[in-house]
Structure 1
């Protein structure tokens, strides 16, 4: 199904559907699967991207959405930042918005959540500069019927956006082109954050001969390893014994060390760019104790643990 068809269907049917029971409703199912899959298909080669949509849980949301999440940033609409299709409450149009997780902001900033979201949005815009020109809507109107509605917080969280009114939906090719451009902005923010990290004090484990671009990729590498969801999957599949020195923290420290190990990403640094980063927890990672993990990073043998053992590990 095409994006234009999906958008038009939601705009013309949602208000009527929201008068019925949400459970098993065909409009809710359409959003969560068909619309979500159409966005995934239009996004091309996803790599790290995952796609989710919501019409509500238990009751209909005032403004449904379909979001795109880079797993190095977030895996849900609750935190981080992400591109998202946001529908106005009155269904007079939809925004393609680069937005932020409001649940995280509410938890951290309480009554000042909207202020914090607006401030962070301004920082993101400064980071992107002229790249946001294709998405001119810095202020969006989701027609919230109450200031406590989710739509009101999404208004505050908007970084940049483009509006598609119900009576002027663009052709499919333009919708896909806009989505591709939005995904480039998304990637630019992530890369900008990694570059900012590279300007901070060194943690002491970077190979000393890294050039600037490789240094940036190196920090992508470390960000992948720190992905909580991935790390849990890696440990569950590969166990908790270091693949270099055979350290088992539970044997050494008892209950304190139970379930402790670190996940190490094996993808070569040269490949850590764009959205095509392999993240298979069984094939693209190994598990290491804290000491071996840091020494692997320091050695530069990120992708070849056997080489590291042969050249650097002396038991």
Structure 2
């Protein structure tokens, strides 16, 4: 009871009931939607904080509201402003809410908008990865043989992201002799940029886990070469087919990952892909 939040937030129950047996999926989705709204809202948010809130409670409901927070303001219990400020803040928040509602156009069901956001986010990530793979094809290879310091993340509206070094990715493809590391018999086509079998670079331990590790995840040991089909499989396949790829790649790379200061169990790795 140290203070109170004014928060433009989301209903956690919707996500929890959508994924009753995979609560981590619910957490990922509600946070993704919150981040998406932060990126598109153009209302004046100068007086509102877009970083995640802390409700000082470990329960599922509190955690859901922490992740569902889009923007808001904290009032210290010992320094509650006068009514003029409170009314002005609430009026400003209503303006942000109206913009959000207006961006839903004629859709009356917020869940439809949520699903559109999640699909668009996946499509956007696919486009970004395609551009990355194209740049890798033209890069000079780099290699790492020991633990590397973590890079500074980029922060945009409260969202962290870690950049991928195209040289390290190219070096990993060279190490794999441009063959799919899940199944070297998988041949796609000859790339006009490399003159070799086309494969794509993939970070086995996802970069969005970087905060959990002391050393950089953007290292040669953590980048695997995959044919386009296996690369899609590791992201989008049903759990059993996805896990088959993860299990093999994990066994291939476990010792090398440890040599780079990256210690992760197979089950934790599988959960990261959920």
Q: Same-fold call, TM > 0.5? A: no
Q: Give the TM-score range, shorter chain.
A: 0.3 to 0.5
TM-score by length of 1: 0.32
Q: Higher strand share goes to which structure?
A: 1
